[in-house]
Amino acid sequence: MGTPLSTEERHSRFELRTLLETSRLLIESHDPDFVLNNLLLITMGKLLVPKGMIIIHKPGDEEYFVSKSKGRGWLQEDDIIEAEFEAHITEQGVIRGDEYAEVFDALGIERECTLFNLMTSNHHLGFLCLGPKGNKEELTSGEIEFIESLTIISSVAIANSRMFQELRYINRRLDRKVHDLNTLLELSKDFNLMVDRDEIARVFKFAMLGQMLIRTFFFALDIEGTKTIVSISGIKEEPDRDQLDKLFELDDVTHVSGEEGCHFLTDNDIDLVIGLRFQNEKIGVVGVGPRATKEGYGTEEVNFLQSLGNLALLTIQKTLLLEERLEKQRMEEELGLAKTIQEGLLPNPLPPITGFDVAATNVSSRQVGGDYFDILELPDKGHLLAIADVTGKGVPASLLMANLQSMLHALAPLDVSLEEATARINDIIHDNTPPDKFITFFWGKIDPHGYTFKYVNAGHNPPMLFRAGKEEPELLDEGGVILGAMPTLMPYTSSEVDFKSGDLLVFFTDGVTEAMNPEQTEEYEEHRLIDCINKNRDLTSEEIMNAVIDDINQFSNNIQYDDITMIVVKAS
């Protein structure tokens, strides 16, 4: 048996465990109030101090405010203290009243108290103010060291929480832009292209929910005398025939007060019902519940909802009234325009990357598709390379692709890591698209010097890195789940590889490896792709890419079932 620990050693180990556990608790918290409250309670409990206070410096102002205050006779929370101190004070860990009486006088606290600086390596955050101990004894060196360690941990946690809040604010702004983009794209393009009423109603619902920040919603139509609910969200139980008739009998704008004689509205907490008319005949009704912002529905909100509903209604009416031949003709024209717009979203020409030979292509199986690639030069002169594949084909997939492109371009210049940006994109797509829509996605950054490539793979076909002199490629598969399938429960991870002369990196979508032979009995698969690349390793990137596409066309007899997208990067 070992030598028993002394009381002092046991006490030291207990304090160390306390610091470690507190450190984990505070660093993981993104709530500054939680961090400060725990800091004050732990220190007061540790030292048996009857009075304690935390004051926080307001950046840019010569003043502090009281964030936390415990005990009698001191300032109250949210009180303002006008004071500004020189750097040699704000950079000290511990400040005593007998040495810096002017500091204590400026803060309005007794000189018998002790101040502990809250600071990071770059910024002064404020002070932890502790009154005298209950037994009037002086603080020991061990107690001071413990509190100093705790204030350092707390300062880092506060700085992290502030950074998190700032990022959350940026994300909220990005959310708003994405909502606006969804409204513009889905209403100006998707409504005009769709001929299926259910799809139109679904797009209308998501535009409504996202734009107005509501959870409870219904959309009812009267089609040739038959009233039905065509879209719904957050409703406990759909209305019966009598309740539907009463909904269509309400005024065109009805703020629900419980006097409408329709228990469906009150049972589901519906705040506003709007009637939609076509040629002066009410053929649609939209109901919405409370907004997440707790704001009511004023004139502007009512006008927006009416306009949005009328646009959806007119689109639905066109699907009912127009001839199928005319509708298909219009659809082909719009698809041609959409294809032009979609092609414009892809980089052309490709930005040159010093030290690399780069080629890329997108071959759509329809006029518009859901494959996407991008190459961006970043502010630090590095380059971002991305490839993605949206589920489904046609216009819905192309719109989701356009949303992804807009988010990528919005996030690229921001100081956000690949992992954090991937998680945010995933949450936005998950919150704003149907559950059957998701995206496989891969992106990475070539550093400004061209030496390394850091990447995140969100469920995409792993790109293949062919090292000089080796036939079997490395697969770049580090990352996380596909975009939009579920909220970000586990953080995305990244990995990094280095580039050497002669290395070859090939990105591709599943349209490459899942190309079918004419009998549809066999897929092209990875082994044929690897063989084709190895046979053409000495060619340029564009020649390698064309060789792969030619090989696929020969294998499938030029029958293409899915979009084909590739990026080939060869290190000089």
**Which residues is 165 bridged to in the sheet?**
none
303-324 per-residue burial string, b: 16 or more CB within 10 A, e: under 16 = eebbebbbbbbebbbbeeeeee
**Cα–Cα distance for residue pair 491/274, rounded to 1 Å:** 42
Long-range contacts from 261-266, C-beta under 8 angstroms, 24+ separation:
264/239
End-to-end alpha-carbon separation of the chain, Å? 64
Per-residue pLDDT of the chain (572 residues; tens, 9 = 90+): 455 545 444 445 545 566 556 666 666 666 777 878 887 888 887 788 888 888 888 877 788 888 888 887 778 888 888 888 888 888 888 888 888 888 888 888 888 888 888 888 778 888 889 888 878 888 888 888 888 888 887 778 777 777 777 777 777 756 655 554 455 455 656 677 776 777 888 888 887 787 778 888 898 888 778 888 888 888 888 888 888 888 888 888 888 886 666 788 888 888 899 998 888 888 889 989 888 888 888 887 888 788 888 878 888 777 766 545 555 666 666 656 656 666 667 888 899 999 999 999 988 776 566 788 999 999 989 999 999 998 877 677 777 888 888 899 888 888 889 999 999 999 999 988 888 888 999 999 999 988 999 999 999 999 999 998 888 999 999 999 999 989 998 999 999 999 999 999 999 999 999 999 988 899 999 999 999 999 999 999 999 999 999 999 999 998 888 889 999 999 98
Copy the structure tokens of residue 344.
């414009």
Q: How far apart are CA 445 and CA 154, in angstroms?
A: 33
- The amino acid sitting at 252 is D
Phi, psi of 319, deg, nearest 5: -70, -25
Rounded (10°) angle between helices 197-212 and 141-185: 140
Give the chain's domains with CATH numbers: 7-164 (3.30.450.40), 174-321 (3.30.450.40), 346-571 (3.60.40.10)
Report d(CA 74, CA 79) in Å as an integer: 10
